[in-house]
Amino acid sequence: MKQLLENWQHYLPLAGVGVAVLIAAYFILRKREIDPNEIERERRLYLNRIGRIVEGQVLEIEDKIAAPKPEPPRGIFGRRKNVPNGSPNVATMLLHYTYSISGVTYETAQDITGMEQRAALNRAVVGKAASVKYDPSNPSNSILVAEDWSGLH
């Protein structure tokens, strides 16, 4: 032990490398932020690619205004974004619809915020028939509008 303490200068570079490895491991292995809009976009693309089409019906078109949620803490060294008190409310547009597969009726809604042009809402009439794309392995997973497809007639 005394010999180790006498030659501490020789071990200093190894300790520095060890600290650098620990910091690098933290940044590589830490949980990444997941953008919910990107997850929804990937779900729409997936359903548009593999989905089967079934007839459905538009139930309601809802303009919803919600207050912004504060951002949760991001970690040890992460910073929170300050949300000003006077920040504008977030507007979302929901398209409620229903469809039946094998005798089971599903009633759901899709957030079409940002896709209003693609949805051609002038054609969306409550009670009107629409084509719904659904996942054959999970029929409750469905879309009415995607980036390059619209089921509104």
The confidence score (pLDDT) of residue 78 equals 58
Residues of the domain holding 6: 1-30
- Report the candidate in 43, 55, 48 with the shortest Cα–Cα distance to residue 129: 55
Do 62 and 116 share a domain, yes or no? yes
Task: Write the CATH number for 103.
Answer: 2.40.50
The total number of structural domains that make up the chain:
2
Do 44 and 24 share a domain, yes or no? no
Residues 13-59 pLDDT 10s: 888 999 999 999 988 888 777 888 899 999 999 999 999 999 999 99
Do 100 and 59 share a domain, yes or no? yes
The confidence score (pLDDT) of residue 34 equals 82
- Is 12 part of a structural domain of the chain? yes
- Reported as type and span, the H/E element at residue 46 is helix 36-50
User: Could you tell me what percent of the chain has a pLDDT over 70?
Assistant: 77
The confidence score (pLDDT) of residue 86 equals 47
22-61 CB burial, b ≥16 within 10 A, e <16: eeeeeeeeeeeeeeeeeeeeeebeebeeebeebebbbbeb
Instruction: Assess whether pLDDT exceeds 50 at residue 10.
Output: yes
- Is 76 part of a structural domain of the chain? no
Do 108 and 130 share a domain, yes or no? yes
Confirm if 97 and 126 have CB atoms less than 8 A apart: no
